């Protein structure tokens, strides 16, 4: 396995997003998911990503159980800031208050069954709390030895700069893939490079769509979140399939899969970039991990760079209001 640095934090060049092991993408199995995490560690994939809102809460417990005998092999990342109502799973409230941050940290440490968290993210920015206050409290977690490094998610350059003046930000996590390029256009990638901040793309496979396995809504399980995601429905789905076809053409020429090509493309965008594709299947873990060995030529990069934008927003409107803050 190859390794990269998110500022001063060394991690595998590809991570593992664990969210789908607990919800959002259909049927789950803790036994199978733990096997996937163990295999990831065997392959040298040491960067595991979870959050308190996944489940909610159950994903951290799952990850904690998986790593209980292998903690020294893991760079563990989790997040706080999105509050969910257990009686209404679709409800989302953002809370970045310092007292809430501390409450979340202590709860995550307990659920994960660890003494410290390697990388602790603010999951979304609270518009009612200055970022300086939230990050100020997070910096105290570092001083106390409960957190090694801190990060942010889905923020704009101004917010990132303000936060970084309070405490060094190790990583910024936002959606980034061949069909979600916001961070190229809004200056986030450039700001990360200028400030020596690592960038962690989630959903580098466009929620699995870029792998080419989804061609119609019926390919998704009944409880799969993507059935209501704008890019996966109606005319948007039909238009977006054309993007996948172009990726598939290049992948065939390179003797790799579309998924591997899409992940390799994100890795090629900068030495400070470490994608965290999620999967709950051993087959796809093995496939995704091989992406670190794929090189993309300058001509291929130009072709991929010019692929048209997708049809539809990446989230339903109610969730879009909480990104790029």
Which active-site residues does the annotation give?
Answer: 54
Distance of CA 236 to the CA centre of its chain: 23
DSSP E strands: which ranges in the chain?
Answer: 3-6, 9-12, 16-17, 47-49, 75-80, 82-85, 88-94, 117-122, 147-153, 171-175, 198-202
* DSSP per-residue letters across 134-184: HHHHHHHHHHTTSEEEEEEES--HHHHHHHHHHS---EEEEE-BTTB-HHH
Phi-psi region of 196 (alpha: psi -120 to 50; beta: other; left: phi over 0): left
Cis peptide before 83 (omega within 30 of 0): no
Report helix, strand or coil for 304: helix
Backbone phi and psi for residue 258, each to the nearest 5 degrees, phi listed first: -60, -40
Q: Answer whether 45's CB lies under 8 Å from 16's CB.
A: yes
């Amino acid at each position: 396995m190859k390794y990269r640095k998110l500022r001063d934090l060394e991690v595998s060049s590809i991570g593992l997003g664990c969210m789908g092991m607990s919800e959002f993408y259909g049927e789950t199995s803790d036994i199978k998911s733990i096997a996937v995490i163990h295999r990831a560690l065997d392959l040298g994939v040491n960067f595991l990503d979870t959050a308190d809102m996944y489940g909610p809460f159950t994903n951290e417990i799952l990850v904690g159980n998986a790593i209980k005998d292998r903690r020294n092999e893991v760079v563990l990342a989790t997040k706080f800031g999105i509050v969910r109502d257990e009686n209404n799973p679709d409800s989302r409230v953002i809370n970045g208050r310092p007292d809430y941050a501390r409450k979340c940290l202590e709860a995550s440490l307990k659920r994960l069954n660890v003494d410290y968290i390697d990388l602790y993210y603010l999951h979304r920015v609270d518009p009612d709390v200055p970022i300086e206050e939230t990050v100020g409290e997070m910096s105290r977690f570092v001083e106390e030895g409960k957190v090694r490094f801190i990060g942010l998610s889905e923020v704009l350059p101004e917010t990132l700069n303000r936060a970084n003046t309070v405490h060094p930000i190790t990583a910024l996590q936002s959606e980034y893939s061949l069909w979600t390029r916001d961070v190229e256009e809004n200056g986030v990638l450039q700001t990360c490079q200028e400030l020596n901040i690592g960038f962690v793309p989630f959903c580098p496979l466009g929620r699995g769509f870029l792998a080419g396995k989804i061609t119609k809504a019926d390919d998704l399980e009944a409880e799969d979140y993507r059935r209501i995601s704008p890019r996966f429905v109606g005319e948007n789905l039909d238009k977006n399939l054309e993007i996948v076809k172009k990726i598939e053409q290049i992948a065939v020429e390179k003797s790799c899969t579309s998924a591997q090509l899409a992940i390799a493309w994100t890795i090629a965008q900068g030495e400070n970039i470490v994608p965290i594709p999620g999967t709950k299947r051993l087959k796809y873990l093995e496939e995704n991990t091989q992406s670190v060995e794929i090189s993309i030529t300058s001509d291929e990069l130009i072709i991929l760079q010019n692929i048209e934008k997708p049809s539809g927003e990446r989230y339903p409107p109610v969730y879009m209001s909480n990104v790029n803050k």
